[in-house]
Chains A and B, each alone.
Chain A
Amino acid sequence: MSAAEINGATEPFQPGLGLRLRHFASENVLFVLGATIFLVVVLCAIFAPIVAPYEPTAINFPHKLRAPGPEHLMGTDVLGRDIFSRVIYGARTSLVIGFTVLTVAVAIGVPIGMVSGYFGGRIDTLLMRVSDVFLAFPPLLLPIAITAALGAGLFNAMLALAISWFPWYARIVRGSVMSVRQELYIDAARAMGVGSLRIMLRHALPNSWTPAIVQASMDFGYTILAAASLSFIGIGAKPPTVEWGLMVALSRSKFLDYWWTAACPGLAIFLTVLAVNLVGDGVRDILDPRTRGTR
């Protein structure tokens, strides 16, 4: 016998998991759409060797520039490589780029923002001025310059993107740490003699990193786009790496007559970034309900 029956009151209606999921899905059609596409991309990336019918780098001159058909779903490129297989393998590259760049950017930005917001004063001024300098470059130009300095290549391009990106996270975390710093529980911890580092890591950070996560989930798509752009202009991924931006670049001499060589990898970039952005919007709505419905 349940407590409610004893008290003679009816229990509040508790919808089951299935119903709640369905309700969530009907409220967030775009999120579900994005999550589905994203899941497909992730699965393609993980099971690329199984999904892809051909080796992505296998050159087959007799088959070059074939139109999409049953044998080659997305046709073949100038070297006769199967574009569908390359698009599938390209998902790996793009996802790895997105995760790596954001992880490094967060790993640099969050500690800087935390120290800056927690201590304030001169350290804050210094760190924020340094961040301002990085933000003073037009977007995409700083990664280009850094990659040019380090030498063209996918690793350097990723590093360059992370370096150009970290100030945003530093700023966001700084802002939220500053507002959290005023809270009573921080004072209480300090009064109990807890060290600064421990307060930052155990008390300030967990209560202030939501905005950074939200930002990261929204930036994921932009990172993929930026990396594809760097590869496109020839300073990112290099063959034999299979990367969508690079595939579009390689199609440049032929795409007017053989549209699929550019359109298929282009569509892959578009759909992936679209999906990631929709998921990012959803993550923001879930973690930060204040912004719900404003976009």
Chain B
Amino acid sequence: MMVGILFGVLTVTFALSRVLPSSPIETMLGHRPNPEQIEAARHALGLDRPIHEQFFLFLGDTIQGDFGVSLRTGQPVIEDIFDRMTATFELTTLAVLLVILIGIPLGVLSAVRRNTVLDHGARGLSIAGVALPAFLIGMLLQMVFYGGLGWLPLQGRIGAEMLLDYPFERVTGLYIVDTALAGQWAAFGSALGHLALPVLTLTIACLAIITRITRNLMVEVLGEDYIRTARAYGLPRRAIYFRYALKATLIPMLTVIGLTYGFLLGGSVVVEFVFDWPGLGGYVVGAITKNDFPAVMGVTLFLATMYLTINLIIDLAYYLVDPRLRVS
């Protein structure tokens, strides 16, 4: 199943890379290349071969992790991706954690205290949250916390002076982990400060949906017979909500978490652009503006694969969570 979809994703990417009107050759050779140069470049890129041959070449290369060479950095795209993916991973993972830690309890609370001030307040916030574009959230936060209060840095991943004054080894590529491992607490603080606003932006952008969906799932489950039975038995409310009701929402919730991760991966492109975050999103935006096609397609493929993998993990988690699936 996943292999089939991955094949489809590769096909779409390949198709996209061949319809482009702005040919990569022009970008490579400058404005007025002579016909021989064009021919040589086409041959070097394999563009003079029949389309199906090109496709199989592309498939073979991609599966081996060869996404071509970035026209902008001159490095293999896959190396560029490996250089930058930890920054994106650090950002999106922290945001997913925050969204889950805030959104799910808030949703449960909204459902339990249905139609109270808290529920209406949460609803209002989520209606407003869905209507805010991520770039605007980011810029508003920059205005308040950098421009207004001066508490947090405007953009970037770590203070430039930190890298010189407090060197640390890149073990995981996640700055907050690496700086902590190296015991460079000043650098750790700087990394954390730089993370705060972009993570907050992504969190706010996704929080509304998660809170809303959790609430609706929970409201549905709370109307079930077995919850009424549990209430009639006089079980403590905490046990009813968190042991029985929340468990029943786990499966749809897992799906939702998968979707969130997808939204975050897409949204990170915009947010990284706003905060000049040296991850895949900023890389892809830079690549687009420079017509660096191999880089755009490489990142697209990479993120799509990551998204598919996350969904696969979630599918496997269904089996852990739902014993019925294990039996059948």
Q: Do A and B come from one complex?
A: yes
B285 on the A face (CB < 8 A): yes
Residue of B nearest to A293 (CB): B219
A136 near B9 (CB under 8 angstroms)? Answer: yes
Nearest Cβ on chain A to B138's Cβ, whole angstroms:
10
Nearest Cβ on chain A to B213's Cβ, whole angstroms:
9
B212 near A256 (CB under 8 angstroms)? Answer: no
Contacting B at CB under 8 A, from A149-172, are 149-152
B159 on the A face (CB < 8 A): no
B16 near A233 (CB under 8 angstroms)? Answer: no
**In the bound complex, how far is the Cα of B133 from the Cα of A271, in angstroms?**
11
A138 on the B face (CB < 8 A): yes
**In the bound complex, how far is the Cα of B266 from the Cα of A176, in angstroms?**
29
Contact with A along B288-328 (1 / 0, CB 8 A): 11000100110010011001100000000000000000000
Nearest Cβ on chain B to A284's Cβ, whole angstroms:
13
When distances are taken between beta carbons in the complex, the residues of chain B under 8 Å from A177 are none
Q: Of the candidates B135, B266, B289, which one forms a contact with A138 in the assembled complex, judged by CB atoms under 8 Å apart?
A: B266
When distances are taken between beta carbons in the complex, the residues of chain A under 8 Å from B5 are 129, 132-133, 136
B296 near A145 (CB under 8 angstroms)? Answer: yes
When distances are taken between beta carbons in the complex, the residues of chain A under 8 Å from B135 are 228-229, 232-233, 245, 248-249
Provided the pairs A150-B21, A234-B289, A255-B143 are in contact, do residues A137 and B9 lie with their beta carbons within 8 angstroms? Answer: yes
A42 on the B face (CB < 8 A): no
A141 near B130 (CB under 8 angstroms)? Answer: no
Contacting B at CB under 8 A, from A131-149, are 132-134, 136-142, 144-149
A146 near B16 (CB under 8 angstroms)? Answer: yes
B133 near A229 (CB under 8 angstroms)? Answer: yes
A24 on the B face (CB < 8 A): no
Q: Give the interface residue-count category, chain B.
A: 35 or more
A140 near B269 (CB under 8 angstroms)? Answer: yes
A233 near B304 (CB under 8 angstroms)? Answer: no
Q: Give the interface residue-count category, chain A.
A: 35 or more
**In the bound complex, how far is the Cα of B135 from the Cα of A245, in angstroms?**
9
Provided the pairs A133-B9, A269-B133 are in contact, do residues A140 and B266 lie with their beta carbons within 8 angstroms? Answer: yes
Contact with A along B148-187 (1 / 0, CB 8 A): 0000001000000000000000000000000000000000
Q: Which stretch (A15-23, A53-61, A95-103, A273-281) binds chain B?
A: A273-281
Q: Contact residues of A with B, CB < 8 Å?
A: 30, 129-130, 132-134, 136-142, 144-152, 221, 225, 228-229, 232-235, 245, 248-249, 252, 255-257, 259, 262-263, 266, 269-271, 273-274, 277-278, 294-295
Cβ-closest 10 pairs across A and B: A133-B8, A140-B266, A274-B131, A273-B131, A138-B265, A149-B16, A145-B300, A138-B262, A256-B147, A138-B266
Q: Contact residues of B with A, CB < 8 Å?
A: 4-6, 8-9, 11-13, 16-17, 19-22, 123, 127-128, 130-136, 139-140, 142-143, 146-147, 154, 212, 216, 219-220, 262-263, 265-267, 269-270, 273, 284-285, 287-289, 293, 296-297, 300, 303-304, 307-308
Other than the known A221-B130, A245-B133, A263-B140, what 17 A-B pairs have Cβ atoms closer than 8 Å?
Answer: A137-B300, A144-B296, A149-B17, A149-B293, A150-B20, A150-B21, A152-B289, A225-B133, A233-B269, A235-B289, A248-B136, A252-B139, A256-B146, A266-B133, A273-B131, A294-B216, A294-B219
